[in-house]
């Protein structure tokens, strides 16, 4: 009888580590299931919008012409001021066939229709509101909300 008790030493360190590894794998899979792809989509669309706003600002400073981005709830369009003063569509830098970017399914702009115009110094001017105000564009999708901010006067887009 005393020999049986001597062989029963309890749980080894290797068994504890194996259980922790299995729990870690299960937790990682469960966490991945809770994260929606729409969350990633709204962040990606916000980064694309920032890139196109920076592009419009760069072109305005290099061309000495005004450039603007016309925002709607489901898309936005890049435009430049033509010689006659009219606005004409200009192709987006990463999609040379079109001037309009349509948000992916599930992503929309909730901050209302806006037009952001950049002058030859790269300063933004909103079509609506005071010219010296910081401009905020809010995109939503998958339960997430991402704000794209264009800083007043400097046009800095963080």
In this prediction, residue 7 carries a pLDDT of 59
Domain assignments of the chain as residue spans, ordered by start: 2-34, 37-150
Using the predicted structure, report yes or no on whether residue 2 has a pLDDT greater than 60.
Answer: no
In this prediction, residue 104 carries a pLDDT of 86
Instruction: Give 6-73 as a DSSP string.
Output: HH-----HHHHHHHHHHHHHHHHHHHHHHS-HHHHHHHHHHHHHHHHHHHHHHHHHHHSS-EEEEEET
The single-letter DSSP state of residue 99 is S
How confident is the model over 30-60, as pLDDT tens digits? 776 666 565 678 888 999 999 999 999 999 9
Query: What dotted CATH number matches 37-150?
Result: 3.55.40.10
pLDDT band at 70 (very low <50, low <70, confident <90, very high): very high
In this prediction, residue 67 carries a pLDDT of 92
How confident is the model over 73-132, as pLDDT tens digits? 999 999 999 887 889 999 998 777 889 998 887 888 887 788 899 988 888 876 655 566
The single-letter DSSP state of residue 127 is S
In this prediction, residue 118 carries a pLDDT of 92
């Amino acid at each position: 009888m005393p020999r049986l008790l001597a062989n029963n030493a309890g749980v080894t360190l290797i068994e504890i580590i194996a259980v922790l590894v299995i729990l870690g794998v299960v937790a990682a899979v469960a966490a991945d299931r809770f994260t929606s792809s729409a969350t990633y989509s709204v962040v990606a669309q916000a980064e694309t919008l920032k890139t196109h706003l920076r592009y419009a600002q760069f072109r305005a400073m290099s061309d000495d012409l005004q450039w603007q981005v016309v925002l709607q709830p489901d898309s936005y369009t890049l435009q430049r001021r033509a010689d006659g003063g009219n606005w004409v569509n200009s192709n987006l830098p990463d999609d040379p066939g079109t001037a309009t970017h349509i948000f992916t399914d599930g992503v929309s702009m909730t901050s209302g229709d806006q037009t952001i115009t950049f002058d030859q110094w790269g300063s933004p001017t909103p079509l609506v509101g005071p010219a010296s105000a910081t401009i905020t564009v809010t995109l939503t999708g998958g339960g997430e909300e991402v704000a794209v901010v264009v800083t007043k006067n400097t046009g800095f887009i963080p």
